[in-house]
């Protein structure tokens, strides 16, 4: 009799379970931004623009995120606000991983070019109370914009061990980041939910859910694509495997196709280049493809697609160290990356005096400009603004050079024939 | 019910659940040092006492159970119910076949779920009909093998997952956790070692002269 009752209860559980699966949203295509919808990339400006001297354009503006008084700062991220301002997040404390590390935020007013006084968005004690568990330290904050207009902030917490013991939590704001909800924990790993981190911007799906490029760095070091609905992971897909690629940065090509560029964590003897993964079904499956032939010293890569179709990357293009940071630009039709600006370079200094320039993060406010934030020697966060005019000029110059190179190559091949 | 209340309820229920589970583990450890098993009433009293000590902050920033949760997260429903049911007067040992199955599943599951290759069995737990059907089949086999408690436990785990009882939306997290896996693997190893030892002893005693 007890067995019959148990089996009847199992039948009930089966019905409820299958109904639950049926109620889940199916995997949706990527939502396209204006830059991906435009089929024809804007032609380079007319010959007048081409002839404009680069020096006549306003140089990119640089400033610093406000000082929190903490000796160590790291992992800045940015998001555009509805009024055109930019909100930054970063963590600061006595050192990376210290219990006194808090996540700070400040708003950049584009008109006055000033940062507001920093405010604490999350500290260890608030995270503990909100998540109802012990938290030892806080890490990377990464903001996202929900389709309903609210802001979300994903951030890393660790209860035990180093960064390998990380989990991701999320808070939500209805007022552009002035106030935040209680944190929610994202569950993304079967082993005590250990070792999932976030660094790069999220991707929007057409159904309004978020695709969060995350990564593991404990037993394995690999990327994972989390499908997140209201602060809950409802699906995830592996972007790489093994111990060689973390911090995926996703470039969406169209509703189904995207590329992910990784920070390489390969063992010595293997190429120190940017690993690449590719999806053709909106992130449901990923295949590793050929490396991007740009040096990477095991450091984060930031990227962005502009309305014009141009793509930019900011990274350390060296095989070891983080003493040089450059801005690269590419026309996706051609696929070649060219260095447009060297942001920082301590190569001439002795090893001991070289500073660290790392963890770049890029956003655009109007699709034509770019805001960049990066860690400057772990002491400060530098912010750099590229106007649309400067980026357009750099893009057309890059295209002209690419055309000239291609013509030269054609001429050479004709001569050979 | 708004999301805030729901989120707060999930946190509170998770802390209560883990407080009781931690109390059961404490009683299990205490019984190891006792020559006689505790009576059921004593077990209930101890569970209530220890669980309350763990659950309430008692003047600290966080209750003690929050420190446990910081390390363990939410335990699976299967482990929770196996532990809780171990205090019942009618408790019977968990069948070795179940432990063996859990050990084999865990040994196959964790390496792939933690990054070996591009196949991630953990992702099946988010909404795979085939995976749910397999779990149901496993529960059915438990029933056919006359272990009704297993059927109840697995059915409750499936319902808890459907109701989003824990923070996780993944069915695996309701069925399996590392502590359940370690318990199953250790029990299986202990059993195999015990059999080997018994065989060796009997061989020594009855070896033809």
Residue pLDDT, tens place only, B160-187: 999 999 999 999 999 999 999 999 999 9
Say if the ipTM goes beyond 0.95: no
In a domain, A48, yes or no: yes
Nearest Cα to Cα of residue A103 among A80, A135, A133: A135
In a domain, A328, yes or no: yes
Residue A24, C-beta contacts closer than 8 angstroms, at least 6 positions apart: A234, B126, B127
Residues of B in contact with A173 (CB under 8 A): none
| pLDDT of res. A44 | 41
Residue B135, C-beta contacts closer than 8 angstroms, at least 6 positions apart: B154, B158, B171, B175
Cα(B32)–Cα(B29) distance, integer angstroms: 5
Minimum-distance CB partner of A238 among B7, B120, B164: B120
**Dihedral (CA of A304, A173, A103, A81) sign:** positive
Question: What residue in A sits closest to B73 (Cα-Cα)?
Answer: A192
A 221-260 → B contacts, CB under 8 A: 221-222, 224, 230, 232-238, 240-243
Residues of B in contact with A190 (CB under 8 A): 109-110, 113-114, 122, 170, 172-173, 176-177
Cα(A251)–Cα(A302) distance, integer angstroms: 11
Residue B137: φ, ψ to 5°: -65, -40
In a domain, A351, yes or no: yes
Q: What is the pLDDT of residues A207-241, one digit of tens each?
A: 999 999 999 998 889 999 999 998 899 999 999 99
In a domain, A338, yes or no: yes
* Residue B193 parent element (H or E): helix B178-205
Number of domains observed in the structure of chain A: 1
Q: Which of A37-41, A130-134, A355-359 has the lowest mean pLDDT?
A: A37-41
Length of chain B: 209
What is the residue range of A410's domain? 37-58+300-355+363-369+388-417
Residues of A in contact with B6 (CB under 8 A): none
The 8 Å CB, 24+ separation contacts for A294-299 are: A294/A328, A294/A337, A295/A319, A296/A263, A296/A264, A296/A272, A297/A272, A297/A321, A297/A322, A298/A263, A298/A264, A298/A265, A298/A272, A299/A263, A299/A358, A299/A359
Question: Smallest CA–CA separation between B100 and chain A, in Å?
Answer: 20
In a domain, A46, yes or no: yes
Cα(B85)–Cα(B151) distance, integer angstroms: 13
Residue A136 has pLDDT above 90, yes or no: yes
In a domain, A317, yes or no: yes
In a domain, A380, yes or no: no
Answer yes or no: do A3 and B62 touch at CB < 8 A.
Answer: no
Residues A239-268 have a mean pLDDT of 95
Q: What is the pLDDT of residues A142-164, one digit of tens each?
A: 999 998 999 999 999 999 889 98
Cα(A140)–Cα(A91) distance, integer angstroms: 7
Answer yes or no: do B126 and A24 touch at CB < 8 A.
Answer: yes
């Amino acid at each position: 009799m007890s067995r019959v009752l148990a089996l009847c209860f199992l039948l009930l559980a089966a019905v409820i379970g299958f109904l639950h699966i049926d109620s889940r949203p199916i995997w949706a295509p990527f939502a396209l931004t204006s830059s991906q919808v435009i089929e024809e990339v804007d032609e380079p400006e007319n010959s007048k623009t081409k002839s404009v001297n680069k020096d006549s354009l306003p140089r990119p503006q640089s400033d610093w995120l406000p000082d929190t008084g903490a000796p160590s700062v790291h992992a800045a991220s940015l998001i555009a606000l509805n009024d055109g301002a930019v909100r930054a997040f970063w963590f600061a404390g006595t050192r990376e991983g210290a219990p006194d590390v808090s996540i700070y935020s400040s708003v950049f007013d584009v008109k006055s070019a000033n940062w507001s006084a920093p405010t604490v968005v999350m500290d260890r004690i608030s995270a503990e109370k909100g998540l109802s568990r012990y938290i030892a330290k806080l890490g990377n904050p990464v903001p996202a914009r929900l389709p309903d207009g609210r802001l979300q902030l994903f951030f890393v917490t660790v209860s035990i061990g180093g960064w390998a013991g990380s989990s991701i939590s999320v808070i939500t704001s209805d007022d552009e980041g002035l106030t935040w909800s209680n944190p929610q924990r994202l569950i993304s790993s079967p082993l005590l939910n250990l070792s999932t981190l976030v660094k790069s911007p999220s991707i929007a799906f057409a159904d309004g859910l978020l695709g969060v490029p995350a990564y593991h760095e404990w037993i394995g070091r690999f990327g994972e694509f989390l499908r997140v609905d209201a602060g809950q992971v409802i699906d995830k897909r592996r972007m790489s495997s093994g111990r060689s690629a973390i911090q995926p940065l996703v470039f969406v090509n169209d509703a189904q196709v995207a590329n992910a560029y990784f920070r390489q964590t390969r063992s010595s003897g293997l190429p120190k280049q940017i690993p690449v993964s590719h999806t053709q079904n909106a992130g449901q499956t990923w295949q590793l493809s050929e490396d991007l032939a740009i040096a990477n010293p095991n450091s984060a890569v930031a990227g962005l697609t502009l309305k014009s179709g141009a793509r930019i990357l900011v990274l350390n293009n060296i095989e070891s160290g983080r003493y040089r940071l450059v801005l690269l630009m590419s026309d996706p039709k051609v696929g070649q990356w060219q260095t447009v600006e060297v942001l920082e370079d301590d190569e001439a200094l002795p090893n001991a005096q070289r500073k660290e320039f790392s963890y770049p993060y890029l956003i655009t406010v109007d699709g034509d400009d770019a805001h960049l934030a990066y860690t400057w020697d772990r002491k400060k966060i530098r912010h750099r603004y590229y106007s649309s005019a400067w980026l357009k000029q750099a893009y057309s110059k890059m295209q002209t050079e690419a055309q000239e190179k291609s013509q030269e190559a054609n001429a050479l091949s004709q001569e050979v024939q | 019910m708004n999301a805030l209340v729901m989120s707060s309820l999930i946190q509170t229920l998770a802390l209560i659940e883990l407080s009781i589970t931690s109390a059961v583990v404490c009683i299990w450890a205490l019984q190891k040092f006792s020559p006689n098993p505790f009576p059921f009433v004593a077990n209930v009293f101890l569970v209530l006492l220890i669980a309350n000590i763990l659950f309430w902050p008692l003047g600290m920033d966080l209750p003690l159970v929050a420190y446990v949760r910081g390390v363990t997260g939410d335990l699976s429903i299967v482990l929770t119910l196996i532990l809780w049911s171990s205090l019942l007067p009618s408790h019977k040992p968990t069948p070795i076949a179940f432990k063996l199955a859990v050990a084999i599943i865990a040994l196959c599951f964790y390496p792939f779920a933690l990054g070996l290759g591009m196949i991630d069995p953990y992702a099946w737990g988010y909404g795979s009909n085939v995976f749910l059907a397999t779990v149901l089949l496993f529960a059915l086999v438990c029933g056919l093998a006359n272990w009704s408690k297993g059927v109840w436990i697995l059915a409750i785990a499936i319902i808890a997952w459907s109701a989003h009882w824990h923070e996780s939306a993944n069915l695996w997290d309701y069925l399996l956790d590392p502590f359940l896996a370690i318990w199953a693997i250790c029990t299986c190893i202990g059993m195999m070692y015990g059999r080997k030892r018994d065989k060796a002893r009997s061989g020594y005693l009855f070896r033809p002269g």
